[in-house]
Amino acid sequence: MKIAFLTDPLASFNISKDSTFVMMREAAKRGYEIHAFGPGDMAYSGGQVLARAQRLHLTGESDWYQADPAHEHRLRDFDAVVQRKDPPFDMEYVYGTYLLELAELDGARIFNKPAAIRSHNEKLSIAQFPQFTAPTLVTRDESRIRRFHAEHHTIILKPLDGMGGSGVFKVGVDGLNLGAIIETLTDNGRRTIMVQRYIPEITQGDKRILLIGGKVVPFALARIPQGDEIRGNLASGGVGVAQPLSAADAKIAGALAPVLAQRGLLLVGCDVIGNYLTEINVTSPTCFQEITQQTGFDVAAMFIDALEQA
């Protein structure tokens, strides 16, 4: 099997933490060809979607790969193309999904499906499952945000296109700096944001639950904020602690897994705080290595199994 990974630059990988790396390593263990390319390597030409991709040979050393010279490939010629490009989900990201969708029309097999990625904003898509969410407001209107704050007293405000906890603010009962935060996040009413009632259980961790091929990984990674930080994201200094799913976690994950898989999302990372669903990550969900290292459950093997089946 030939697998191509659409990724950020390979030099940026931290192989002690990176989930894409262990996907590649597991595929290589099974004897598959591994290729990699970036968004700028893609082009539509002559009715085909092409990519300048390098074949990788994993070394098992700190210099973790050797790469053959890049060659032009038609994306349909790979058995699978795995989309692992991190946000920001800007227009260049969207254009990339359009190219991948054209490649699908040419016969390529893309995971996650590009149309499904576009249709599931990682913040806003939780609104499709309101039975699992805390009170939530999506707007760019200051008066609505102020009324929401007056009702719920302590709130979280965040952009719809961020990752790794960037741009997340907590405002307490006193409303300190609420006006300035609204102005900043909404760009003075020109940008839509999400506002949620603060969930105190964040102190116990922002839990990442992985859904793979319509099935649920039985362990979550609780990303626990440190010090005075309100964000549990590992990129924001949170400490990851793997733990079995709670009954509420399993209920949420079990309800979402078959629905999202049917929509073409092979790999999803659900974020849960307390008993509430807060995000549905579909672009490049992570935490494979942390869960495997702490529990022995081989997440990468589960993923490659699902990719083979798909």
Which positions are catalytic? 123, 158, 208, 223, 231, 271, 279, 281
3-state secondary structure of 86: coil
The DSSP code for 188 is T
Question: How far is residue 298 from each of residues 114, 282, 293, 294, measured CA to CA in Å?
Answer: 26, 20, 9, 10
Contact 295, 287 (CB under 8 A): no
The token duo for 137 is 């407001």
Distance (Å) of CA 109 to CA 3, 12, 75, 84, 191: 10, 26, 8, 14, 34
Token pair of 264 as six digits: 């073409």
* CA–CA separation, 302 and 294 (whole Å): 16
User: Rounded to an integer, what distance in angstroms lies between the CA atom of residue 257 and that of residue 269?
Assistant: 10
User: What residues contact residue 22 under an 8 Å CB cut-off, 6+ apart?
Assistant: 288, 289, 292, 299, 300
**CB-CB contact of 157 with 136 (8 Å):** no
If you compute the radius of gyration of the chain from its CA atoms, what whole number of angstroms results? Answer: 20
